[in-house]
């Protein structure tokens, strides 16, 4: 286990090296998840709406990081040929996937810390609320890491490797009610929005931070949905990800 963790750490450091050498890229990554916060903060009629947008920034910063594993995995395999080196070495697929996940955490850390700091400053939050916000965000992040790894290791077309993560980020990130309240959607559209795991993560985070009130059964459904989504992504990774091409 110690050896696997060491392998994952060094793989993660190698993958995050371009960001560490150019901090401006980290700033740009942070702006992606913070742009809706800026606009909502300027136009919101109340502090609670702005707080919901900050919660969305935390949830989606980690979500976007997990999705981007697809590009790291693809380019390491088909362009830089790093994966050939790992395949020829004692490194196992689980160590490699863990390493890529470590790099996404490091990349998402600045934006996440800034959002949490602003949240604590403008809203009376409890320690439990912050812990549950981080918990649901990490659960969603873990699911998207497996999804990204599956996409990156199975795709063979550069255009798809670049476009599919962006499309998923838009469809599952910006469109669902993560930055904004679910209640603003028409009643007929709300069940459709609940099909997205990001909606469940945001609803749970807002609930634990005291921004919305939802029935206990919806809380149970939310956690069940997120764990079920994680299990589905793990199964997809085992079934479709390719460590060695035939």
pLDDT digit string (tens) for 122-168?
A: 888 888 999 999 999 999 999 999 898 888 888 887 788 788 888 88
Separation CA 153–CA 94 (nearest Å): 13
Question: What local confidence, expressed as pLDDT, does residue 1 receive?
Answer: 67
Question: What local confidence, expressed as pLDDT, does residue 11 receive?
Answer: 84
Helices (H), 22-46: 23-43
Question: What local confidence, expressed as pLDDT, does residue 43 receive?
Answer: 65
Burial label, 236 (beta-carbon count in 10 A; 0-12, 13-18, 19+):
middle
Q: Point out the residues of the chain with pLDDT beneath 70.
A: 1, 30, 41-46, 245-246
Question: What local confidence, expressed as pLDDT, does residue 223 receive?
Answer: 97
Question: What local confidence, expressed as pLDDT, does residue 134 receive?
Answer: 92
Question: What local confidence, expressed as pLDDT, does residue 42 receive?
Answer: 61
Q: How far is CA 8 from the centre of its chain?
A: 19
154, 208, 209 from 115: Cα distances, Å: 34, 16, 14
Contact 16, 69 (CB under 8 A): no
pTM of the model: 0.88
Separation CA 164–CA 142 (nearest Å): 18
Separation CA 180–CA 197 (nearest Å): 15
**Cβ neighbours around 208 below 10 Å, total:** 21
- Closest to 72 (Cα-Cα) out of 112, 13, 24, 21: 13
Separation CA 232–CA 218 (nearest Å): 20
180 token code pair = 């904004």
Rounded to the nearest 5 percent, the helix, strand and coil shares of the chain are: 80, 0, 20
61 token code pair = 């910063």
Question: What local confidence, expressed as pLDDT, does residue 162 receive?
Answer: 80
Q: How far is CA 46 from the centre of its chain?
A: 27
């Amino acid at each position: 286990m110690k050896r696997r963790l060491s392998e994952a750490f060094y793989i993660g450091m190698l993958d995050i090296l371009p960001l560490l050498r150019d901090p401006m890229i980290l700033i740009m990554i942070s702006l992606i998840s913070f742009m809706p916060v800026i606009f909502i903060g300027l136009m919101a009629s109340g502090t609670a709406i702005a707080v919901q947008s900050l919660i969305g920034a935390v949830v989606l910063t980690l979500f976007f990081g997990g999705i981007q594993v697809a590009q790291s995995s693809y380019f390491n395999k088909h362009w830089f040929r790093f994966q050939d080196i790992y395949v020829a070495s004692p490194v196992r697929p689980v160590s490699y996937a863990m390493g890529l996940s470590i790099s996404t955490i490091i990349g998402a850390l600045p934006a996440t810390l800034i959002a949490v700091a602003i949240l604590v400053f403008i809203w009376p939050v409890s320690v439990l609320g912050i812990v549950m916000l981080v918990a649901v965000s990490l659960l969603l992040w873990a699911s998207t890491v497996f999804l990204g790894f599956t996409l990156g290791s199975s795709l063979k077309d550069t255009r798809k490797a670049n476009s599919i993560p962006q499309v998923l980020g838009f469809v599952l990130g910006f469109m669902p009610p993560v930055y904004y309240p679910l209640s603003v959607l028409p009643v007929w559209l709300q069940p459709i929005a609940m099909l997205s795991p990001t909606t469940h993560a945001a609803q749970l985070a807002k609930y634990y931070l005291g921004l919305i009130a939802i029935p206990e059964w919806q809380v149970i459904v939310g956690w069940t949905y997120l764990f079920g989504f994680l299990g589905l992504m793990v199964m997809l990774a085992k079934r479709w990800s390719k460590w060695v091409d035939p």
